[in-house]
Structure 1
Amino acid sequence: MSSLVENVLKRYAEVVEDGYVVEGGPRFKSYAVSNLRGGVGKSTMSFNLAYEISRKNSLLVADLCPQCNLTETILKGAHAKVTIANALTPKMLGPAFGDMPEDISYRVSSYIDDFKGGKACFAIPGDPELFAFPSSMYQQLQVALSRGEPKAVRTLLTSLHSIMNEEAKDKKCEILLMDTSPFYAGGTHLAWCAADALIIPVRVDEHSIESLNLTLDMLSNKSKDFNMWNDRAGGLNSPKIAAIVMTMAGSKSQLSSTPGKASQMYIERAVKLAEKHRNLFVNEDISNAIVVTDDFVSSGQISGAESIPISQLKVGRFHTVSEGKRLQVNKSVTRYQRQLRYLASIL
């Protein structure tokens, strides 16, 4: 086992046993939660990070995934009159396709009482129309490219960046957070262009490690689509990696502060991939950017279904989720609460 992996596991134990956190605040203004695979916990993480960050910093969060899981959680199923698609369409296709809405975000504390008591948190809802968005987006980019207009390419690629910054200025938000889809094209591509740094959730399984490899390669390889378009725009920067979050790790027992052998194997592989792409990371010591979180199981289901941040779940309380299923919050939730606070502290 390498010293980097040992450092990751040592820090995991410190977080679980002592609630270790890093003092300070977010080092970047804008973050995207992203991995090119579904089911790794992006929306659950985005929702809970929105809560943790908004305790100290005013926050604007946007849902760039057409499945809209984050929107359903953060707005508790309320119908949104204005979505991110309403803002992106005129920016990307021009005023003939509608006017840019004046107000595109909703105050989260109006829907979720738990968000009261911190700093202001606003959310821009997602939209199923984003499933079809990539085709029109790349058509516009190809037109701009064929005319030899790098400035136009840059304007299109930074459209989400402009939207987020304009809304953040209007709502006086300090930090931006974007939840993305498992597909690179469209909203995720624009989120990478808008973000200063990425938070990459990686489930401890084979497919997630493969998607981590693909994600890091797309960010660093000059011949891949993302960097090619950055070059065509006259030289846009790639986001840094703020954190790789190993999700759904299994411990030997609920009392153990050491992940199980299978989880350790995937953690080691993630560390090796991070070493290979060391230039993408904020920290020289990449072990500081790798966070291990346990399998949230019922707590994650309750958090999403009931729109309750994991930090606000109470041990022993029962909750009714989908199809009348009743789940109880067990003592392990304290581990998850500590892990989420730690993750928010290193960003």
Structure 2
Amino acid sequence: MGATVVSLINMKGGVGKTTLAVGLAWELARSHKVLLVDVDPQFNATQWVVPAAEYLKWLKSKHTIFDVFQPPGGTSFSSGATAKTQAKQPTPRSTIISVKSGGLTLDIVPSSLELMKLDAAPRGTENRLRVFLKSVRDKYDHILIDCPPTTSLFSYSAFLASDAYLVPVKPDPLSVLGLPLLERAMEDYVERSGQQLPRLGLVFTQVRQTDAMKSTMKQVRESYPDDVFAEMIIQTTGVAEAVETNTPLQFYTKGGKFSDVRAALGGICVEYVARVEELL
């Protein structure tokens, strides 16, 4: 079977989804072969993991997730790709970037703003991600998909390609409103596809120890018993700087309570692996 494929998804934006996706991917990379797939048109995970100069160079002759969604023999490839690349279908070698940091290696399928062009793609496009990942599953232990905070072609494609999904939750009342929306979206996807997708769990993100957040976390734990991970990611300053320097949170040391974040990511990773093994 190869890698376990898990989508990180929440219908509410600004909940630390990419922070969790990138942090968990790097943490898993300590002892596993990991592929991170960015299907968010905002491509925040890509910007964090891949240095800008390398990304811009890649766009000139290689593929992104945009090309994975293109039909075989199609001509609507990345605008920056060369004619030689346009004539070819995306392959793992032309689509996956290997990035090294702190002695670790993380592979990523980069995203692109061009995904916006595919919002009204022809029928069948939603299966292309699943087909592509099937071709590389044997090379990895874990594949994480960073999804957009919307019900869209890209989220549905991730659903079809995944074995389970993981939900980052910012424990404030407005963000928690996204959970029922997510459940309805999942029900719709199940109805459309005829396949079930188990929920791996919920991870609290951007946590501040205020009375309001403590109360919200208590309510979520009561509403979703056994779903909430033990560790949580606290809100900390310096994440933007870590992104700008393409530094994993595990290795970022300037400002903020990053020792707490590193410990939390370690705990989340251990529980993640245990849940994957138990569920699948």
Q: TM-score, normalised by structure 1?
A: 0.67
For 2:203 and 2:142, locate their aligned partners in 1 and report how far apart those are by CA, in whole Å: 20
Instruction: State whether structure 2 residue 120 is matched by structure 1 residue 135.
Output: yes
CA distance in 1 between counterparts of 2:128 and 2:34 reads 19
Asked if structure 2 preserves the Cα contact closer than 8 Å seen for 1:104 and 1:167, the reply is: no
- 1:255-296 CA distance string (max 9 Å, x none): xxxxx3211111123224324xxxxxxxxx335x35432112
Deviation (angstroms), 1:247: 1.3
Q: Distance in 2 between matches of 1:193 and 1:207?
A: 28
Mapped partners of 1:46, 1:290: distance in 2: 17
Q: Are residues 1:95 and 2:70 paired?
A: no
- Does residue 121 of structure 2 align to residue 158 of structure 1? no
Q: Which runs of 5+ in 2 are unaligned?
A: 77-87, 273-280
Instruction: Give yes or no for the alignment of 1:297 onto 2:252.
Output: no
CA distance in 2, matches of 1:272, 1:135: 39
1:307 correspondence with 2:232: no
In 2, the alpha carbon distance for the partners of 1:188 and 1:307 equals 25
Pairing partner for 2:154 from 180, 187, 190: 187
Specify the alignment match of 2:173 in structure 1.
Answer: 206
Give the number of equivalent residue pairs.
Answer: 252
C-alpha distance in 1 between matches for 2:127 and 2:196 = 11
Q: Structure 1 residue 28: deviation in Å?
A: 7.0
Cα RMSD for the two superposed structures = 2.1
1:85 maps to which residue? 66
> In structure 2, the residue corresponding to 1:135 is in which secondary structure?
coil
- The alpha carbon displacement at 1:157 in A equals 4.0
Spell out structure 1 runs of 4+ moving beyond 6 A: none
Q: Which amino acid aligns with 1:301?
A: A
Q: Which amino acid aligns with 2:51?
A: K
Change (3 A) 1:291 1:248: same
1:247-286 alignment runs, 5 A limit: 247-251=205-209, 260-275=210-225, 285-286=226-227
Name the structure 2 match of 1:14: none
Contact conserved, 2:203 with 2:231, CA < 8 A, in 1? yes
1-side partners of 2:163 and 2:67: how far apart? 24
- Once residues 123 and 189 of structure 1 are traced to their aligned partners in structure 2, the CA distance between those partners, rounded to angstroms, is 20
Asked which structure has the greater CA Rg, the reply is: 1
Alignment deviations for residues 184-212 of structure 1 (CA, whole Å, 9 cap, x no partner):
21111111121212221111222211111
In structure 2, give the amino acid aligned to 1:297: T
Contact residue 243 and residue 290 of structure 1 kept, 8 A:
no
TM-score, normalised by the number of residues in structure 2: 0.82
Shift of 1:57: 0.4
Q: Which amino acid aligns with 2:247?
A: I
The gaps in structure 1 that reach 5 residues or longer are: 1-26, 142-155, 252-259, 276-284, 318-328
